[in-house]
Structure 1
C-alpha cells in the first residue's frame, strides 16, 4: 500500500511539473505573439539613435489601443522576409515635404532634434536629407491616406524608407519600439 501511495504521489508531482511547464510555454508564446517581441537593429539606417546590433523590445499591441504619433520608432514588414525599423514622420491626412534639410508638415516647419541630439549630447555629424515632396514618392499621393504612415530612417543618407518603399500601411506595422535592452551600457526607454 505504501509503495502504491508513493507512486501516486510521484506521478502527481510529475503532472504538476508538466502543467507548470506547459503554462509557462503558453504564456511565453502569448506574450511573444501578441504583446512584446525582441528585435535586433541591422545596419546604420537609424544612426545616431539606434546602432547596428542594438537589441530592442517591440510593443506589438500599442496601436490597438492608440493611434501612432509623429516620431514613434516602429518595426514594420518591408517584405515577406524582412522587417525594417524606422521613424514615423507623416500621419494620415498630412502633406510632407523636406526642403533645404527642413521638414514641413502641411507647410509648417517641424523640428527634428533627434537627428543631432543623442541622449542630450549634440553630435557633430551633419544629417542631410535630399529634398522631396509627398507627390514624388511611390503612389504619387497629395496627402497621406487613412491607415498609412510615412517613415524615414534617422540616417537619411543611408536609409531605405518611404522615399523608396512608399507609404507604410498600418496593418504592416509590427509595433512600436519601447526599450533598448542590449548592449547594457546603452539600455534605455526609447523616446521620441
Structure 2
C-alpha cells in the first residue's frame, strides 16, 4: 500500500528529493498534526459574551485542555482516559445541551448527586456554604427555573451544574438545567490573547 502511495506521489510531485514534494509533504504533515492536537489535546476558543466577567472578558482567546478530562473520539460517544474528572470551581467548555452546534463556557458549581441552592447570593451544596474563593467572590442572583429563591436542586448523576461568574447576565444552569458530563469538552487553562491579559486560569 505504501509503495503504491509513494509511486503515485512520485508521478504527481516528482522524486522524493524534489523541492515540490518536500514542500507538499511538510504541509500535509503539519496539517495532520494540527488536526490531531485540536481534536485530542488543546483547542482555542474565543469568548463571545460577558457572562464570565470579570474572570473572562469579551474577545479573550483561550486554550482549552482536552487531555484533562479525556478527549472524545470524533463521531462516537467514547472518551479516552484523562487525568481526572471535572471538579468544583473548574472553568469548563461544554456543548450546550439545548443546541449541540454551540459551545458554552461556565464555572462548574455542583457535581452529580449533589444538591445546590443559591441563598442570599451564596452557593450552598448539600446545605453547606461553599467557601471556595473562586466561587464565593461572586454574588449569585436567584433567577430561572433552577435558581429561584428557596429552590434546592438535585443534580442528576453523570451531570454537572454550571454558573457564569457574571451572575446578573449569564444564561446558565439556573435557566436550562444540567450539563451531561459527556458534553464537557475540556478545562480552560490559559488566556493567550490579548497579550495584556495573558495569564493562567486558577484551578486550585
Same fold (TM over 0.5): yes
Residue of structure 1 equivalent to 2:105? 85
Residue of structure 2 equivalent to 1:70? 88
Q: Is the Cα contact below 8 Å between 1:180 and 1:190 reproduced in 2?
A: yes
Give the structure with the higher percent helix. 1
Higher relative contact order (CA 8 A, sep 6+): 1
Q: Deviations over 1:69-103 (max 9, x none)?
A: 10100111111332111000001121111111121
Flag structure 1 segments of 5+ consecutive residues without an equivalent. 1-7, 118-126
Give the counterpart of 1:55 among 46, 61, 77.
61
| Residue 157 (structure 1) shift | 0.7
Flag structure 2 segments of 5+ consecutive residues without an equivalent. 1-13, 71-81
| Residue 18 (structure 1) shift | 2.1
Residue of structure 2 equivalent to 1:97? 117
| Residue 9 (structure 1) shift | 6.6
| Residue 141 (structure 1) shift | 8.6
How do 1:5-154 and structure 2 match up within 5 A?
12-64=18-70, 65=82, 66-78=84-96, 79-114=99-134, 127-131=138-142, 137=146, 143-154=154-165
Number of equivalenced pairs: 173
**Superposition TM-score, scaled by structure 2 size:** 0.76
| Residue 112 (structure 1) shift | 4.7
Question: CA separation in 1, counterparts of 2:143 and 2:85?
Answer: 26
